[in-house]
Amino acid sequence: MRNIKLVLEYDGTAYAGWQRQKNAPTIQEAVEKSIFSITGEELSVTGCSRTDAGVHAKEFVCNFHTNSSIEASRFREALNAKLPEDIRIHKAVEVDESFHSRYDSKGKTYCYTILNQEVNSAIYRNFVCHVRYPLNINDMSSAARFFLGTHDFQAFRKLGSSVKTTTRTISQLELLKEGNIIRIYGTADGFLYNMMRIIAGTLIEIGLGRMKPEDIPLILEGNTGVKPGKVAPAQGLCLEKVYY
């Protein structure tokens, strides 16, 4: 069988995340239905990540195995003609049969966007986390440095998720401010479930003065007396890049 790799961009507002669900629309379902309409094959598309409901992606990589003889590059236009406009295929290429978009990934970059002003935006509300009170970006940046390196991120994942290890290496956690927009860029060899959103929620708490930058190493060291912030809203998160 042939193995086709797709690079997607999507607005996750109307979807219950990537992974197929019984009673809710998902990105995976939309892509699989579009492939079926072209090839007649009922197949499963493997995604690089299980993004949550409302999370967006500028570069999401997935792959599927097919018996179709359609030229790989033609899948882009064919699928875009079938998919809703909030999901776009930017690239379709044939890859080695062993390629696995999730397990072969060496890392990912996410961006979490905060709109820091008194009133939320009517236009951008589905793409930002609105924080009405002023944030201290200097304290947030100071705190971000403590996340760099290899740590056990047990405290920065949603309870109930099952993984072999909760140790991850963060190579970048950077805050950029432009007007009332604050963007948090995070790059790691892997992210635990809700890890980036909990990091963002924690940095917001620090920016509001409810936590201190020095709380971060205590949490990473397993000090149960200090808790991370809440899971930040999904709509502020966007998968920017996947590395192979």
Q: Does 137 share its domain with 185? A: yes
Q: Is 52 assigned a catalytic role?
A: yes
Same structural domain for residues 66 and 159? no
Q: What is the pLDDT of residue 131?
A: 99
Is residue 181, in this structure, part of any structural domain at all? yes
Q: Whole domain around residue 11: which residue ranges?
A: 2-95
Looking at residues 140-147, what average pLDDT do you find? 98
Same domain, 117 and 223: yes
Token pair recorded at residue 63: 């792959």
Determine contact, residues 205/125, Cβ cutoff 8 Å: no
Report the C-alpha gap between 173 and 186 in whole angstroms: 4
- pLDDT computed for residue 224 by the predictor: 81
Same domain, 130 and 89: no
Looking at 95, 123, 154, the residue that finishes a domain is: 95
102 located within any domain = no
Asked whether residue 212 is domain-assigned, the answer is yes
Same domain, 155 and 237: yes
Structural domain ending residue among the three candidates 50, 65, 95:
95
Q: Which of 74-83, 95-104, 154-163 has the least mean pLDDT?
A: 154-163
Pairing of strands 237-243, 149-152: unpaired
Catalytic hit among 11, 52, 86, 152: 52
Name the domain count of the chain: 2
How much is the pLDDT for 118? 98
> 111 and 220, same structural domain?
yes
The reported pLDDT for the residue numbered 145 is 98
Reported as a pLDDT band with limits 50, 70 and 90, residue 62 is very high
- Are 75 and 120 found together in one domain? no
Of the three residues 72, 95, 118, the one that is the final residue of a domain is 95
Same structural domain, 91 and 136: no
> Which residue from 61, 33, 86 is spatially nearest to 241, judged by alpha carbons?
61
The verdict on 46 and 132 lying in the same domain is no
Please check whether residues 236 and 115 belong to one and the same domain.
yes
CATH of the domain at 123: 3.30.70.660
pTM metric for this prediction = 0.95
Same domain, yes or no: 43 and 121: no
